[in-house]
Structure 1
Amino acid sequence: MTEIPRLTSLAHGGGCGCKLDPATLRQLLAAQPVAGPFERLLVGNETSDDAAVWELDDGTCVIATTDFFTPMVDDPVDFGRIAATNAISDVYAMGGRPLLALAILGMPVGKIAPEMVAQILRGGAEKCAEAGIPVAGGHSIDAPEPIYGLAVIGTCRREAVRRNADALAGDAVILTKALGVGVYSAAIKHAALDPSGYGDFIATTTLLNRIGPELAGEPAVHALTDVTGFGILGHGLELARGAGLTLALDADALPLLPRAEALVQEGFVTGASHRNWAAFGGDVDLPDGFSDWRRHLLTDPQTSGGLLVTCAADRADAILQRIRASGYLSAARIGRMEAGPARIRVHV
């Protein structure tokens, strides 16, 4: 009887941890022309944002994005669900609502059974249905590693568009989901995560960021992005660079998955965490005596992570309560935007 291979054994990395590292990506993008001049292109490749935004004649905007990756779990349905949730998040992070999706599929023919591929697609379709959108088509190829994701189209009104570059000095910073997904995925790859931990992992990675358009309807919310492969430091630094401000990050306030601290101290750290620190650690000020394991959690790549929100400080508590009431129970106020150089200053 032929043994069915673990999905994670067919890929060199998994989830958003297999993204190109920030330094390499910046080098590649620096050689590309800015996507302009097009008057209707409100958001292009100039701000490291989550999706492109194009304005139509009546003030309605089209949001377009794509996201795909290799497996971080062995259950094919769960892989499909996580990948779809992650891809749809980019539309929510711009303040929009998704309309439809197209599947992106690459599978190593001969190494994976068609029935398993069908389960991956089923998992993705289930999350799209939960988001209220169809998978209206797609494209597939024979690839050396399993790859799945979506291209997603959404819409919003022009006034609802939220970029990652529009934070204001004095803004409070809120994170809507707990950190530690990369640490958990490293444990999964080594079969070291118990069923309870796996349940926590699936619960957070398949929780749709549908609070995004609701937050975009709040004038006090100035900037939005989602936290994915570059970790809280990398995506926080995008906020700081975009606004030309310092992000003061309270390490003790960061929400963590229940076993994240224990697992990272046991050595479950992804290669992406090291690459992330190498790429942008020079723009981060850590307090004296800050331990390596805590730093690894700051650079831990998140797959289908939470939204990073900046808002007027006097509305922060009410906005945080609204987020938690919408089902994001780990949401926390984690810092503030301050006048100063485009850096992150971590404090405890």
Structure 2
Amino acid sequence: MTDQDVSSIRRLTSYAHGGGCACKIPPGELERVVEGLLSAGAKNPEGELLVGLETGDDAAVVRLSDDTAVISTADFFTPVVDDPYDWGRIAAANALSDVYAMGGRPITAINLLGWPRDTLPFELASEVLRGARDVAHGAGCHVAGGHSIDDPEPKFGMSVTGLVHPDHILRNSTGRAGLPLTLTKPLGVGVLNNRHKATGEHFPHAVASMTALNDRASAQAVQAGVACATDVTGFGLLGHLHKLARASRVTAILDTAAVPYLDDAHASLRAGYVSGGTRRNLDWVRPHLDTGTASEEELLLLADAQTSGGLLIAGEIPGYPVVGELVPAAGAGTTMVIK
């Protein structure tokens, strides 16, 4: 690709209407779409479905034997950064995170690529795939092919298969009152990515957070006997915490003073770099939220649409901040209380 070819290409994020997990279908709309898909199950299936659609967990899990279960998941999104190699790295880390959120380890991944072949050179697509491969290989996960389509908007992600012991599955439905809540990555990548898309400013610390794997935190949780966890991605901390508390039939107390944020997150929010996905997240959970004295700014950051965020674990994991606790259900549909 010549220098002239490069100069004629717009920034990668400019080809997308949204960015990263902020481009997800709003959670309320998504739940209405899938609510009619629950059924009696497959006819003569191989294995027992342990985790399916019922609670909107991070991945599906099928038991194959007393000590082996398969995790299956897929995740893809539009460009979240302009660097194609970094986009691939972020997308891979994000897809692998679903396996870690279930307490498993990834074994194989296949690429999912949508590419505007008449608009963007395939050299950029190769960089995306290279970034994803490097992260997956670093996680000990094979990358074995994939599927691609001609798409007017670039999209990339992975379908990942993992393994977990059936007795060590982390679910979003197994929280119980009295457990602390641990968050393993700071919030704020959503507003920083939105600022990057609007201005071209680079935030290496946000890229570092998004490309960091959740493998260590997941393994620590399993070793500590934790049963309940989820990861924090496009629905924001509030959205994923709401789903966890609702599925577990408890209420979550969230200590805003304990929640960590990336540098520049607050300033970016005050400057107006808030995605539509973040606002939709907050609108969705607001009826279930006792906001206390929290400001609208705090609520928006707590609902910030994350891409490749950390794990939210119902248990205390050394080295990570405790940001709240689970208590008995408060009633009246309240799943979260801000303090």
TM range (shorter): over 0.9
Q: Is the 8 A contact 2:169 2:227 kept in 1?
A: no
- Which residue number corresponds to residue 253 of structure 1? 258
TM-aligned CA deviation for residue 109 of structure 1: 1.4
Q: CA deviation at 1:186?
A: 0.8
Deviation at 1:234, TM superposition (A): 0.3
What secondary structure is seen at the aligned counterpart in 2 of 1:47?
coil
Residue 137 of structure 1: CA displacement? Answer: 1.2
- What is the deviation of 1:192? 5.6
Contact in 2 for aligned 1:241/1:343 (Cα 8 Å): yes
TM-score between the two structures when normalised by the length of structure 1: 0.91
SS of 1:190 mapped into structure 2: helix
| Residue number in structure 2 paired with 1:138 | 146
- Note if 1:115 corresponds to 2:115: no
Residues 34 and 45 of structure 1 are in contact (CA less than 8 Å); yes or no, is this contact kept in structure 2?
no
Which residue matches 2:302?
A: 298
Name 1:332's counterpart in structure 2: 321
The answer on 1:343 being equivalent to 2:335 is yes
Distance, in Å, in 2 between the alignment partners of 1:52 and 1:7 is: 32
1:34 Cα shift?
A: 4.0
Corresponding position of 2:215: 210
| Aligned residue pair count | 327
Task: Give per-residue Cα distances to partners, 1:205-225, cap 9 Å, x unaligned.
Answer: 000000213312322x13011
Equivalent position amino acid for 2:37 in 1: Q
Q: What TM-score, normalized to structure 2?
A: 0.93
What are the within-5 Å matches in structure 2 for residues 1-348 of structure 1?
Answer: 1-2=4-5, 3-34=8-39, 36=41, 40-191=48-199, 193=201, 195=202, 198-211=203-216, 212-219=218-225, 221-288=226-293, 290-311=294-315, 316=316, 319=317, 321=318, 324=319, 331-340=320-329, 341=331, 342-347=334-339
Amino acid across the alignment from 1:345:
V
Consecutive unaligned residues of structure 1, counting only runs of 5 or more, are 325-330
Does the 8 Å contact 1:103/1:148 carry over to 2? yes
Aligned partners of 2:300 and 2:265: how far apart in 1? 10
Cα distance in 2 for residues equivalent to 1:106 and 1:122: 15
3-state SS of paired residue (1:145):
coil
In 2: Cα distance, 1:35 partner to 1:29 partner: 15
Q: CA RMSD in A?
A: 1.4
Q: Quote the sequence identity (%).
A: 44
- Assess if the C-alpha contact under 8 Å between 1:64 and 1:154 holds in 2: yes
